Structure 1
Amino acid sequence: MIVAAFLLSTFSSEALAERPLEYFATLPTFSNPTLSPDGTKIAVEMAVDGEQRMVIIGLDGSSKPVVVSAGETEIWDIDWVGNDWLVLNVVFDGRISERSLFGEETQMSRLIAFKADGTDLHTLESKKDKPLANGGNVIWTGDDENPEILISYPTSVFWKDPGFFPLVMRVNVPKNRFSLELNPHEQVRNYYTDADGVIRFGVGHERGGRRVRLIYRDGAGSNLKERAWAEGDDDLPVPSVFLEDGKSAIALATVDGYQGAYKLDLETMTFGEKVYGVNGYDLDGIITVDGELAGYTWVDTVRQNFWIDPRLKTAQELLDLTFPGKKVSILTTDDDRNRVVASIGTAAGPSEYYLLDVAKKDVRLLAKPLEQLARGGNGSVTTVTYSARDGLKIPAILTLPPGREAKGLPLIVLPHGGPRARDIERWDWWSQFLADRGYAVIQPNYRGSTGFGKAFVDAGDGEWGLKMQDDVDDAVTWAVEKGLADPERVCIVGGSYGGYVAMRAAQRNPDIYRCAISFAGVSDMPRMLRYSSDSYFGPSSREYWLGRADDLARVSPINHVDKFGIPILLVHGKEDWRVPINQSRELAEKLKAAGKDVVYIEQAEGDHFFSRMADRAQFLEEMEKFLDKHNPAS
């Protein structure tokens, strides 16, 4: 095995002996890589001047990297169209014509096309239509001989408008030429193709937004017809990959309490034999390459892949042998499955990225993002399990500060967002920054988190701010009983839904915590219901929010400012389309009016995802200052 260096010196940074705050705020210099179909080039997100940019790199080293900027936008997705063209899906915040969503801004998007050398950059937009709020979602890509894409293309984000349900357009990428591929179907919002670009099925809701349904056709010569219905998205038979017999597919389904991969009869839309599953965990993905089944993916304590494709299986084995004791994740491959890019690392350190040529057994280092934090001295990361007060077992990620005895430590409880998500053992800049400052950090996978089976997810239904909140509080009880944490030095920190949990803790259980910090949290759920149900998902969104708790107003912190009993820091970005800034701004105003101890920070250019280094740095600085005052680590 040959291991050679292939670092991009243009984007390297000088190592420093100390670990200042800026190290943790630094955006990764290499993330989300995507190989071109022929494996000669790679598209990757890189931090350039403190903001994420798309960079195209020729892997033969003969040309300089090409930096592509689409203005003040966030990179959402990237697709190669053959080897010479790329399409970038970018999002930004704004208002749609003169309409507003109860005074809020919303997400807008565009598709930006450009050549691999960075030239001929143009927006993909029909010349016959006015600019749209949503530039479309790519559902199929062509090749060098046919540089076309299919996009799902709505003309309004307001569900009562005729254009809310998307049509499908065929777009010639170089010429920006649009032609109609499929007219809209009422209540169908997502369409899917086979490997040849034939639209095979769509998924949407029934009128009224309750049950979900699938429309399907055998091929291009037939019409899409309703073929299956279900009470929820997880129960609908949705093909992930079509099999060669033309009569069956592989699909994810929850049959025995955990999601697995099953054979799906396309005539009857019924599940047959289970082809792959993992005991005690949900399978959360079927991996395809060029429309062919390549493997399966899931998470136990870390991300795992099981490869069906023999070439990718060989690649995994070669990388595992080259990097013993490290977590190896194949991220992208060329069409021949000969060249792959993989991340290599541990939960206690940022990953490195390598290029493997399977035929040559040649491994080359592409990049060491966050190299200044990869030299050791980070907090140890493990998975623990504790019992909630009703006996439910709650998995959690525990990060301990380096060089300190795990006894009587100041503790930060860090619940994840979502809440239909989960924390795993991986590099996390929030928890590692806090550990670096001397705190133990526990990240509870409270009921309602994904990956642990249907019963565990369902246990969170209707429990926002209630049993889900209890699960988070019970992490403190466990840490104190283990002697790990000092019960007098506990604070709670969270973002998005985790920010809601922090707000709710300050209002509901101020006796447990000394302080709370919320980034982009939800304080007023009835307002979120109005905001979401007017756009995007309409009635289905309303159903979702109504199912979060029996009484949304009762579990909304903004309605109980008199009960806030600890200092709270609120941070929110003005460019956040996921959770509007008024969710924090108005809570701060009410808390100040009530004489409560609140610090409120608005980030003028901040979004929901910390896409800018300046916003990350400001958040860490304000959090550190707040904790030093209210819960010092020493």
Structure 2
Amino acid sequence: MVTESTQRSDPTVDVPEPLFADPAAEARWRGRFTAARISVPDWARDAPAHSVYSSNASGTWEVYAWDREADAHRQVTDRPQGTRGATVSVDGTEIWWFDDTDGDEFGTWVAEPFAAGERRQAVPGAERGYPAGLDLGRTTTAIGWSTDEGSTLAVAVGDAALRTVYAHTEDAGIGGLSRDETLLAISHSEHGDSRHPAVRVLQVADGSAVADLYDGEGKGLEPVEFAPVAGDTRLLVSHERRGRDELLIWDPVAGVETELVIDLPGDLSAGFYPDASALLVAHTRAGRTTLHRYDLTTGELSDLPTARGSVGGADVRPDGSVEYGWSSAEHPSSVRVLRPDGTDEVLLTPPGDKPAPSVALQDAWVAGPGGEVHALYARPEGTSRPVPTLFMIHGGPQAADEDRYSAVRAVWLDAGFAVVHVNYRGSSGYGSAWRDAIEGRPGTTELEDVAVVQAWAVESGLADPAACVLEGWSWGGYLTLLGLGLQPERWAVGCAGVPVADYVAAYEDEMEPLRAFDRSLFGGSPTEVPEIYRTASPLTYLDEVSAPVLVLAGENDPRCPIRQIDNYLDGLAARGREYAMVRYDAGHGSLVVAETLRHTAAEITFTRHALGMNLPVGDEK
């Protein structure tokens, strides 16, 4: 099952072909991954027929142009490791996309004609760096980047040279330009806490401060966007003054601030309608999303009729139509449009076959040390007894598992595993106190919640206690490695994608915005609070690891760099532990469909082998 790698001495997974014995099952799981998907389109403000979106139709996630009037689609980018991030100029004549190297997220913006043509550096004078925001006006560009020296925010007006308006060693980012392009909103963390930023509005002309908004320790603010009307200086801001994500309107010129009291129990996010008379509000609670229209004059809240599930991006067209992405655990994602007359229909249909549906998620609320922990779970169809169970731990940590379609979850279910998602303390969508409960004690806090859900899964008859698997990517990969060392009695196998494995080495090598995040989360750097980093580092607990471990990592990852993963693997090897490694030439995850297939097959192959289960799946011979 394992062979020797030619790159290092790491064992690598030998993935059998096929994964499933039944040809129909084999085609179904692969089809879920290879089926073309698309993102919600962005469009040019002054030429809304010119749109851009991302799609994996070519086998790699790339940028596409869509001329709505001609209903013509064009693939814009074609790069070996795919392309993240694109927008379209206000007049619709250019597409801007971020040009990094092999997925390392370090690069600069390039621009090319909407209808195809020669590419150029989008903003002459901008340094290569990690992106820290971009907003395009008719004549003004606001752009941000970060390097090891900190954050730089700059503007270019007309043909004038790029001019720095803000620079600081702490994390900062572009919030947005006012519609008349005289004001620029930024987020910053001069106070030293990038998890709870402040807002400042600057004069574009000279970079001088117009006004500041800061709610104090532990209460973050985020600029969303200025009202999309010339001369309107109102800024939509996200705040957490009452312990959850809510909204306020701030006019930094007039000095007027209005909190919006919206009677919905979960976390709120929003954007303006085109005439600035209302907000499109997304309400997230317990892993599901609803959409609403909030009238800024009357305060009336209207429900928008979307199906039960999760919304991934939504915006309002000039005609009042709402375009949004939607999926549920059962139903694959679709890009839809809700028209002013109430009609809800598919907006874009990707080419090729549709992915097969999957199994619905159920909810569980489990008593934990910090309050009830919300979990989402599904068991393989046709089963009723305890089964091998995958605890699929989300990344972030400021994220959450939701009732959305997942080809990865679906194939594990097909392979005979129940799947459990845990929205541990640290997750978004359950209020500020829940999200911030991990500060000063990261890793161990989340695992306490994972442990009570694992115990519930065993006691309820869902999970086989001898076949519980811990799996995750990014922060979920980190929690996987940490859990294998801290809770060895609970886990039979671990699969960790792009994890933090040696936290001190990770801090030394990671991108500066993540160092700032870590300082906010841990209460300082490894030099300042060494014991907290030691306690939180999977490397500390290598002696306790007993379960077989699979690690998957990108050679160019700026978030969870490869050196610190190698340190952990060397420690496993020195102790004679069973492990395997999948290394790939990309960054923090892959945008290449075939690579994602390989990763998923490797995890299932490794896990079923470790548990003594048949391969291919369904082969009882």
TM-score (norm 1): 0.80
How many angstroms apart in 1 are the aligned matches of 2:62 and 2:594?
A: 15
- 1:298 match: 283
Task: Report 1:371-382 matches (<5 A).
Answer: 371-374=353-356, 376=357, 378-382=358-362
SS in 1 for 2:270: strand
- 1:574 match: 555
1:54-89 Cα distance to aligned partner (Å, 9 max, x none): 1223334564x2111153464332222135323333
What's the offset of the Cα at 1:199?
2.3
What's the offset of the Cα at 1:200?
3.7
What's the offset of the Cα at 1:481?
1.3
How many angstroms apart in 1 are the aligned matches of 2:224 and 2:104?
A: 31
- 1:282 match: 267
Question: 2:323 corresponds to which letter in structure 1?
Answer: V
Q: Return 291-300 or 464-473, whichever deviates more.
A: 291-300
SS in 1 for 2:534: coil
- The answer to which structure, 1 or 2, has the higher relative contact order (CA under 8 A, 6+ apart) is 2
What's the offset of the Cα at 1:184?
3.0
What's the offset of the Cα at 1:445?
0.4
1:190 to 146, 158, 173: 173
Task: Report 1:244-393 matches (<5 A).
Answer: 249-264=235-250, 266=252, 272-279=258-265, 281-283=266-268, 285-290=269-274, 292=276, 293-300=278-285, 301-308=287-294, 331-338=314-321, 340-354=322-336, 358=340, 363=345, 366-368=348-350, 371-374=353-356, 376=357, 378-388=358-368, 390=369, 392-393=371-372
Checking the alignment, whether the CA contact within 8 Å between 1:526 and 1:552 is kept in structure 2 is yes
SS in 2 for 1:530: helix
Checking the alignment, whether the CA contact within 8 Å between 2:364 and 2:375 is kept in structure 1 is yes
- 2:461 match: 483
What's the offset of the Cα at 1:218?
7.8
1:53–1:471 Cα change, 3 Å: same
How many angstroms apart in 2 are the aligned matches of 1:454 and 1:131?
A: 35
1:406–1:357 Cα change, 3 Å: same
What's the offset of the Cα at 1:427?
0.7
1:416 to 370, 394, 404: 394
Checking the alignment, whether the CA contact within 8 Å between 1:90 and 1:109 is kept in structure 2 is yes
1:391-442 Cα distance to aligned partner (Å, 9 max, x none): 620001112222x224312111111111111111111222112112111110
Checking the alignment, whether the CA contact within 8 Å between 1:492 and 1:515 is kept in structure 2 is yes
Question: 2:135 corresponds to which letter in structure 1?
Answer: I
1:307-335 Cα distance to aligned partner (Å, 9 max, x none): 2379xxxxx98975xxx778777734433
How many angstroms apart in 2 are the aligned matches of 1:236 and 1:372?
A: 40
- 1:544 match: 521
The reply on whether 1:500 has 2:500 as its aligned counterpart is no
SS in 1 for 2:509: helix
1:80–1:51 Cα change, 3 Å: same
SS in 2 for 1:521: coil
How many angstroms apart in 1 are the aligned matches of 2:475 and 2:313?
A: 30
Question: 1:190 corresponds to which letter in structure 2?
Answer: G
The reply on whether 1:86 has 2:94 as its aligned counterpart is yes
How many angstroms apart in 2 are the aligned matches of 1:309 and 1:514?
A: 53
Identity within the alignment, %: 18
Task: Report 1:66-105 matches (<5 A).
Answer: 66-69=74-77, 71-72=79-80, 74-93=82-101
Question: 1:68 corresponds to which letter in structure 2?
Answer: V
What's the offset of the Cα at 1:42?
3.3
SS in 2 for 1:383: strand
Question: 2:576 corresponds to which letter in structure 1?
Answer: G
- 1:313 match: none
For structure 2, the residue ranges without an aligned partner over 5 or more in a row are 1-22, 297-301, 615-621
1:327–1:386 Cα change, 3 Å: closer
What's the offset of the Cα at 1:588?
1.2
What's the offset of the Cα at 1:291?
7.8
1:32–1:577 Cα change, 3 Å: farther
1:458–1:270 Cα change, 3 Å: farther
Question: 1:157 corresponds to which letter in structure 2?
Answer: T
Question: 2:246 corresponds to which letter in structure 1?
Answer: G
How many angstroms apart in 2 are the aligned matches of 1:213 and 1:343?
A: 30
What's the offset of the Cα at 1:619?
0.7
Checking the alignment, whether the CA contact within 8 Å between 2:132 and 2:173 is kept in structure 1 is no
What's the offset of the Cα at 1:350?
0.9
1:273–1:593 Cα change, 3 Å: closer
What's the offset of the Cα at 1:498?
0.7
How many angstroms apart in 2 are the aligned matches of 1:391 and 1:58?
A: 51
Question: 2:556 corresponds to which letter in structure 1?
Answer: E
- 2:439 match: 461
- 1:4 match: none
SS in 2 for 1:456: helix
The reply on whether 1:599 has 2:593 as its aligned counterpart is no
1:19–1:456 Cα change, 3 Å: same
Question: 1:469 corresponds to which letter in structure 2?
Answer: L
For structure 1, the residue ranges without an aligned partner over 5 or more in a row are 1-15, 95-104, 143-147, 311-315
Question: 2:122 corresponds to which letter in structure 1?
Answer: L
Task: Report 1:38-49 matches (<5 A).
Answer: 38-49=47-58
